[in-house]
Amino acid sequence: MKNKNLFLTSLIYFITMVLFVGLRIASSLGAFNGLNADIANIVFSLLIQVVVMFFVPLVLIKVVFKKGLKQTFADLGFQKISARTFLIVIIIGVLAFFLNLVVSTVFNGLLGFFGYNPTGGSGSTYETFLQFLKGILLVAVLPGIFEEFLHRGVLLKGYSKEVGFRRAIVYSSILFGLMHLNVGQVFYAIIMGGLIAITAIVSNSIYPAMIVHFINNAINVYLVYAIQNNLFGANFYSNINSFLQSNNPLLTFLSSFLFLGIIIVVLVILFFQLFKESTVNKLQTIKLKVEKGLDKEIFYGEEKTLEASEIAAVNTVLVEKLKPLLPDFSNIQSPVDVLVPKSESDKYTPTVLENLFYYASICLGVIITIFTFIWGVV
What are the residue boundaries of the structural domains of the chain, listed by start? 4-280+344-377
User: Rounded to whole angstroms, how far apart are CA atoms 74 and 110?
Assistant: 42
pLDDT at 133: 96
Query: Taking each helix axis from N to C terminus, what angle separates 281-295 and 308-322, rounded to the nearest 10 degrees?
Result: 160
Give the separation between CA 244 and CA 235, rounded to whole angstroms: 14
Is 172 in contact with 10 (CB distance < 8 Å)?
no
- pLDDT tens per residue across span 291-345: 665 555 444 445 555 566 666 666 666 666 666 555 555 565 666 676 777 777 7
- DSSP summary character for residue 151: I
Angle between helices 4-28 and 56-65 (to 10 degrees): 160
Mean pLDDT by 10 residues, the chain (378 residues): 88 97 92 90 96 97 92 94 94 95 82 72 76 96 98 95 92 96 91 96 95 97 92 82 67 80 94 85 64 52 57 65 57 66 77 95 94 69
Q: What is the Cα–Cα distance from 24 to 55, expressed in whole angstroms?
A: 18
pLDDT for the residue numbered 297: 47
Nearest partner of 204 among 371, 79, 86, 18, judged by Cα = 79
| 188: CB partners within 8 A, 6+ apart | 100, 103, 104, 107, 177
C-alpha gyration radius of the chain = 24
What's residue 200's pLDDT?
A: 96
Nearest partner of 348 among 186, 164, 179, judged by Cα: 164
- Nearest residue to 179 via CA among 192, 161, 198: 192
Q: How far is CA 203 from the centre of its chain?
A: 12
Query: What pLDDT sits at residue 298?
Result: 45
For residue 157, what are the contacts with CB-CB under 8 A and spacing of at least 6?
A: 75, 76, 77, 168, 206
Distance CA 8, CA 66 (A): 13
Q: For residue 7, count CB atoms less than 10 angstroms from its CB and return exposed for 0-12, middle for 13-18, buried for 19 or more.
A: buried
Residue 357 vs residues 9, 85, 314: alpha-carbon distances, Å: 9, 35, 48
How far, rounded to the nearest angstrom, does the alpha carbon of residue 317 sit from its chain's CA centroid? 36
Those residues with Cβ within 8 angstroms of residue 246's Cβ, 6 or more apart along the chain or in another chain: 252, 255
pLDDT tens, position by position, 201-237: 999 999 999 999 999 999 999 999 998 898 988 888 7
Q: Identify which of 173, 165, 180 has the alpha carbon closest to the alpha carbon of residue 194.
A: 173
d(CA 13, CA 89): 27
Cα 347–chain centre separation: 24
pLDDT given at position 103: 87
Q: What is the three-state SS of 66-103? A: CCCHHHHHHHCCCCCCCHHHHHHHHHHHHHHHHHHHHH
β-pair partners for 305: 296
Contact predicate 212/195, CB 8 Å:
yes
Condensed to tens digits (0 to 9), the pLDDT of residues 277-289 reads: 887 666 666 666 6
What is the structure's pLDDT at 111? 83
Position 184 scores a pLDDT of 86
- Contact 25/62 with Cβ under 8 angstroms? no
Residues linked to residue 302 through DSSP beta bridges, in sequence order: 299
Q: H or E segment at 297?
A: strand 296-299
